[in-house]
Amino acid sequence: MSTKKTSLKDIAQKAGVSTALVSYVLNGKEKESRVGQEIAIKIRQIAAELNYQPNHLAKSLRSGKTHTIGLIIADISNPFFANIARVVEDEAKHNGYTVIIGSSDENADKSRDLLDVLINRQVDGFIIVSSEHSELQIHYLKDKNIPFVLLDRYFPEIQTDFVSTDHYQASYEAGVHLIKNGYRRIGMIAYDSQMFHMQERIRGYLDSFENNKLESKKSWLKQIRITNIENGVKEAIDELMNANEPVDSLLFATYSLAINGLKYINELKLRVPADLGIVSFGQAEVFELYQCPITYLKQPIVLLGKTAVELLVKKLKDNVNEPAQILMKAELIERASSESKPNSSI
């Protein structure tokens, strides 16, 4: 096996022409560059014979384009992000792009590191699920004119392209759904985060009371540290259930919170929905498997991912810069965990 990759030069030599000519032909520029018919055919044939594969590195070095997209997410081992990654991977490939994925662990420093590594690798652009306190990075990208699209989360005070779920409306819908089904003391477990998407989820929850002329208690909203999920969720549930008047239902703001919460609810031998109605963000097969299938807010993952890639690719190709800001609706998938209360009114 002669292992040497064949280069333009090899083809040129074999055809008895210059590399320039070969390049023109193989890039389909024979017309513009007035290459002879016969020699063009010959070149193509030799290229095929030698199984020529252009060297991406050389191409990229010259053109400044790597046809690579950097995808920064919180954690690829989280099903929500894994699914996003899959969609982005497929859609990018479809457009001739390769994806490099990096997990930031919701940590601004890590995401900054990732950004640097990937910029260094000359990715053409980014799709980013932002972490808390990463505003500076976004400004940096804007200043440096590096194309990017924010996914699922955005900063309302920064003017950027983004594709996101309408977190407010999703949460609001969840609240209304529970109220409609007769629940009155609805707790919410969310992260203690200033990220806009989390604030929106909380706002939606709170507004669902207000707009239905119900009172809510501050103590029903529990915000826990992302660094202390397991214990945080347990404590939150303990407090909510041991209160004078315990909550009758619970809204989980994320998949991870739900996983931990549901586990603990199992341990406590609480019956769902009899003792506790449940609605959660984040779809997953998991929710179908629980003692009682869980009602959840299904985010339009495929559409989110596809749209983000499309947007980015358009920016990369056309170099256009009309910012696109797209909000998509989540769908409430009703399951048994939030069933109508037996003697419910409204």
Partner DNA sequence: AAAGGAAGCTTAAACGATTAAGCTGACAAG
Partner DNA sequence: CTTGTCAGCTTAATCGTTTAAGCTTCCTTT
Binding stretches for its own copies (CB under 8 A)? 1, 3, 53-58, 60-61, 66, 75-79, 82-83, 85-86, 89-90, 93, 98-103, 117, 119-122, 143-145, 259, 262-263, 266, 285-286, 288-291, 293
36 is in the binding site of which of DNA, its own copies, none (Cβ under 5 to 8 A by kind)?
Answer: DNA
Nearest approach in angstroms of CB 40 to its own copies is 23
Residue 331 is inside which H or E element, if any? strand 331-333
Six token digits for residue 24: 């023109």
With a CB cutoff of 8 Å and minimum separation 6, the contacts of 76 are 82, 85, 101, 103
Should residue 9 be labelled a site residue for DNA when binding is judged by CB under 7 A?
A: yes
Q: What values do phi and psi take at 195, rounded to 5? A: -55, 140
| Residue with token string 């010259």 | 62
Should residue 16 be labelled a site residue for DNA when binding is judged by CB under 7 A?
A: yes
The region of 15-23, 132-140, 163-171, 243-251 touching DNA under the rule CB under 7 A is 15-23
Tell me how many residues contact DNA (CB under 7 A).
32
Nearest approach in angstroms of CB 30 to its own copies is 23
Should residue 236 be labelled a site residue for DNA when binding is judged by CB under 7 A?
A: no
Should residue 58 be labelled a site residue for DNA when binding is judged by CB under 7 A?
A: yes
Q: What sign does the dihedral 278-283-289-295 (CA atoms) show?
A: positive
Six token digits for residue 346: 């409204």
Nearest approach in angstroms of CB 90 to its own copies is 8
Alpha carbon distances (Å) from 153 to 132, 168, 169, 232, 281: 10, 12, 14, 23, 14
Measured between alpha carbons, how far is 289 from 122 in angstroms, rounded to an integer? 43
Nearer to its own copies, 100 or 332 (CB): 100
Strand, coil or helix: 186: strand
Strand, coil or helix: 163: strand
The region of 35-43, 123-131, 139-147, 267-275 touching DNA under the rule CB under 7 A is 35-43
266 is in the binding site of which of DNA, its own copies, none (Cβ under 5 to 8 A by kind)?
Answer: its own copies
Residues that bind DNA (CB under 7 A): 5, 7-9, 16-21, 23-24, 26-27, 29, 33-39, 52-55, 57-59, 61-63
